[in-house]
């Protein structure tokens, strides 16, 4: 069994954005006594989705951090449209709507097995030097990998 929680990205087109899809299966730990995914767990799903999205473009968040750049979240937003349920295989479509500068924005659409959009949201993150915590430009190889997607 391989390719666990990996994503595939759409090849560069004239669409002027980067998109990728990832799948996540809801764990029992992630439900609450309402019988649904706890609302706070979508932040974690978004984390997995953006890491897998950039991995599908050939970029490793882990390596970036090992190389001294980290990406703290500055702002996040969530709209809960329908409940997520235990054991469902959710599909998350992640979009990078514009080439990142000192910040990067990700947009997310989470759908259930029936194809219903259940949660949508976005996050903005900064690039910071781990040592100094000062803002920095995105790593050159990340920009090089993303540029072909942006007309």
Residues that bind a second copy (CB under 8 A): 1-8, 21-25, 27-29, 31-36, 38-44, 47-48, 51, 60-62, 65, 70, 72-80, 83, 86-87, 89
How far does Cα 13 stand from its chain's mean position?
20
| Active-site residue, selected from the candidate residues 3, 16, 32, 144 | 32
Cβ(31)–Cβ(86) below 8 Å:
yes
CB closer to a second copy, 135 vs 151: 135
* Least spacing, CB of residue 5 vs a second copy, in Å: 5
* Least spacing, CB of residue 98 vs a second copy, in Å: 20
Q: Mark whether 32 is an active-site residue.
A: yes
Angle at 66 between CA 64 and CA 71, to 5 degrees: 45
The whole-angstrom separation of Cα 108 and Cα 14 is 20
């Amino acid at each position: 069994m391989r390719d666990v929680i990996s994503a595939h990205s759409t090849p560069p087109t004239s669409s002027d954005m980067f998109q990728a899809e990832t799948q996540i299966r809801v764990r029992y730990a992630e439900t609450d006594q309402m019988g649904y995914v706890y609302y706070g767990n979508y932040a974690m799903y978004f984390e997995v989705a953006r890491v897998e999205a950039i991995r599908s473009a050939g970029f490793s968040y882990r390596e970036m951090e090992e190389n001294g750049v980290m990406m703290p979240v500055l702002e996040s937003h969530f709209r809960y449209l329908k409940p997520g349920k235990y054991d469902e295989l959710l599909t998350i479509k992640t979009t990078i709507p514009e080439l990142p500068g000192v910040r990067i924005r990700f947009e997310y659409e989470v759908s259930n097995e029936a194809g219903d959009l259940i949660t949508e949201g976005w996050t903005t993150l900064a690039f910071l030097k781990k040592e100094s915590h000062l803002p920095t430009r995105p790593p050159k190889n990340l920009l090089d990998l993303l540029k072909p997607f942006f007309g």
